[in-house]
Amino acid sequence: MAVSADVVGRTYPSIAPYQVGREKIREFAAAVKATDLTHYDVAAAQTAGYADLVAPPTFAIVVSQKADAALVNDPEAGIDFSRVVHADQRFTHHRPIVAGDELTAAVTVDAVRPLGGGAMVTSRVEVTTVAGEKVATTVSSLLVRGEEQ
Amino acid sequence: MEFESVEKGQSVGERTVRVSRADLVAYAGASGDRNPIHWNEEFARSVGLPNVIAHGMFTMGAAVGLVTEWAGDAGAVVDYQTRFTKPVVVPNAFDTTVTPSTALTVSGVVGAVDAEARTARVDLTVTAPDLSEPDADPATAKPLKVLVKAQAVVRFPG
């Protein structure tokens, strides 16, 4: 099934509030082999001027991939996830994410471009606090490979 | 790092990040991306991949540590982007425990400085050995650029 261009411009519903926990920041930081103490030690983070543990620069992917699920799982979009390749990714941080943040996020489809037998799907996720403060904007392109390739 | 001493063309250093299958399982758990192409060889081959491959986001996440350490502030990266061009193949390696079977080589250079915004753009080069052939030797395999146009913008206080 081909990816549908009808979803371009569509914004999907926001995810349920995501509570940024200290242990998740520690686990994520260790998983990407980050060494900065401000990911692990609350006192070090506060000494550096942060309210709590600081998330690594790509941590927002945890939240934005939850938002992306609404698009990927939309039968109308026609994205076969087993044929998806992550083509590019961008993070723009309006401020660092810290433990204690309560975030929400929603995905908007910016473009669907035919490519070979498949399609390149570019989507944008706005990550905000539940109070509406802008935190991060993530943009990703997924290459959905065609059946014949 | 003080903003006043940052210059275009300056190196931010180089590092090697060794990668094992266990690292990919840890990243899958931490990120929530449990796609089996990142931990199950049979599944990866069934969808046409040469072997288990690292999450693109694992590589992107591991590479930026060089930048945050150089900046001296883990929250200083205001923008970070890349294209994923080649997969990082992570073969099975087991010697009583799961051991690293490949490595990322990460280096960075200051590509632009904006004095007004007090930002510096670091351009990263990230390579991994081409282990797509079953008998490839990580020590001699050709290094492939796995990230392209990997750029991190750091904002300095002041």
Burial class (CB in 10 A: 0-12, 13-18, 19+), A14: middle
Burial class (CB in 10 A: 0-12, 13-18, 19+), B131: buried
pLDDT tens, residue by residue, A85-114: 899 999 999 999 999 999 999 999 999 999
Q: Which two tokens stand for residue A132?
A: 């509406």
- Give me the pLDDT at residue A1, please: 56
pLDDT score for A148:
56
A residues 98-137 closer than 8 Å to B (CB): none
Classify residue A112 by burial, with Cβ atoms within 10 Å: 0-12, 13-18, 19+: buried
Distance, in Å, from the CA atom of B64 to the CA atom of B56, rounded to the nearest integer, reads 13
Residue type, A45: A
Distance from CA of A91 to the nearest CA of B (A): 5
Residues of B in contact with A117 (CB under 8 A): none
- Reported ipTM: the value is 0.97
Domain of B21 in residue numbering reads as 3-155
Q: Give pLDDT tens digits for B63-83.
A: 999 999 999 999 999 999 999
Residue B61 contacts A where some CB pair is shorter than 8 Å? yes
B101-130 core/surface letters (b: 16 or more CB in 10 A; e: else): bbbbbbbbebbebeeeeebbbbebbbbbbb
Instruction: Please tell me the total count of domains within chain B.
Output: 1
Distance (Å, whole) CA A40 – CA A24:
10
Question: Are the Cβ atoms of A65 and B31 closer than 8 angstroms?
Answer: yes
Q: How confident is the model at residue B103 (pLDDT cuts 50, 70, 90)?
A: very high
For B16, counting Cβ atoms within 10 Å of its Cβ (0-12 exposed, 13-18 middle, 19+ buried), the class is exposed
pLDDT, one tens digit per residue, over B2-55 is 999 999 999 999 999 999 999 999 999 999 999 999 999 999 999 889 999 999
- Side-chain half-sphere exposure of A36, counting CA atoms within 13 A: 28
CB pairs under 8 A between A and B: 108
- Of the candidates A54, A66, A92, the beta carbon closest to that of B79 is on A92
CATH number of B42's domain: 3.10.129.10
Min Cα–Cα distance to chain B from A19, Å: 14
Return residues 36-55 of A near B (CB < 8 Å): 36, 38-39, 48, 50, 54
Q: A119 to each of A7, A72, B148, how far by Cα in Å?
A: 13, 13, 20
Q: In this structure, how many other beta carbons lie within 10 angstroms of the beta carbon of residue B36? A: 15
B79 close contact with A: CB closer than 8 A: yes
Say which CATH architecture domain A7-20+56-144 belongs to: Roll (3.10)
Is any Cβ of chain B less than 8 angstroms from the Cβ of A33? yes
By C-alpha distance, the chain B residue nearest A147 is B47
